[in-house]
Amino acid sequence: MALFYKKNGASRRDRGEGKTAANWLGHDSRRGRLLETAEQFNLIQGLIAQALQLPVGHACRVVGLENGTLIIAVPSAAHAAKIRQLTTTIHQLLVAKGQRVDQIRIKIQAGLKNTAITAASPPPIHMPPLGEQARGALLELQQTTDNQGLAETLARILEKNQAKRQS
């Protein structure tokens, strides 16, 4: 049996201390249904992201499931068009995974784009300046290569490296 100490007349249990959000949501039937819905949306969201190619799959957000109609929010009309092309694939996948989905509706929400890009973008990588030997090797490769694209890329790398060395 867990002991709950009282402070200012309220026990830890009364104040909700020591509980996770999932424990709190599962405490009564109404909040429990909310938790089940969130878990179902999360499962569907994961299945869609897994089934669709990046970045389309990760730009979609499941925002509703009512009477068998799945509502997916996307950041732009281009995403909506792509998802509309794939609704049969999405529907078949969800039904195969045991989800009761009869219809899929697409909803465009422009503010969604920033969230999807931010979540998918890796943090910037800090690289120290190149040593003299590495710089010399890249410079030699840039000057001797027949590949124009490679030469331009190497020039940009060397230019950025020079700016790092000067700062």
More confident residue, 115 or 80: 80
The 10s digit of each residue's pLDDT in 99-143 is 888 999 999 988 775 444 444 555 566 677 888 888 888 889 889
In a domain, 35, yes or no: yes
Judged against a pLDDT cut of 70, whether residue 17 lies above it is answered with no
∠ CA(125), CA(149), CA(147), 5° rounding? 125
Look at residue 134 in the predicted model and tell me its pLDDT: 86
Confidence of residue 145 (pLDDT cuts 50, 70, 90): confident
The 10s digit of each residue's pLDDT in 114-125 is 444 444 555 566
Q: Is 87 exposed, middle or buried (0-12, 13-18, 19+ CB in 10 A)?
A: middle
In a domain, 125, yes or no: no
The 10s digit of each residue's pLDDT in 20-67 is 655 665 666 666 677 788 888 888 888 888 777 667 777 888 888 888
* Same domain membership, residue 80 and residue 111: yes
Q: Examine residue 75 and say whether the peptide bond preceding it is cis (omega within 30 degrees of 0).
A: no
Amino acid at 105: R
Show the domain range for 16.
Answer: 8-120
Nearest to 115 by CA among 45, 34, 39, 15: 45
Look at residue 25 in the predicted model and tell me its pLDDT: 57
Cβ-based neighbours of 80, under 8 Å, separated by 6 or more = 74, 106, 108
In a domain, 2, yes or no: no
Judged against a pLDDT cut of 80, whether residue 84 lies above it is answered with yes
Q: What is the CATH number of the domain that holds 69?
A: 3.30.300.180
Scanning the structure block, which residue is given the tokens 């995974």? 97
Distances 161 to 31, 127, 139 between C-alpha atoms, Å: 55, 9, 12
In a domain, 3, yes or no: no
Confidence of residue 71 (pLDDT cuts 50, 70, 90): very high
Look at residue 37 in the predicted model and tell me its pLDDT: 80
* Same domain membership, residue 148 and residue 91: no
Residue-wise over 61-82: b if at least 16 C-beta within 10 A, else e? bbeebeeeebebbbbeeebbeb
10-11 and 69-74: which strand pairing?
unpaired
Judged against a pLDDT cut of 70, whether residue 79 lies above it is answered with yes
Least confident segment among 32-46, 76-90, 113-127, 153-167? 113-127
Number of folded domains that form the chain: 2
Confidence of residue 156 (pLDDT cuts 50, 70, 90): confident
The single-letter DSSP state of residue 111 is T
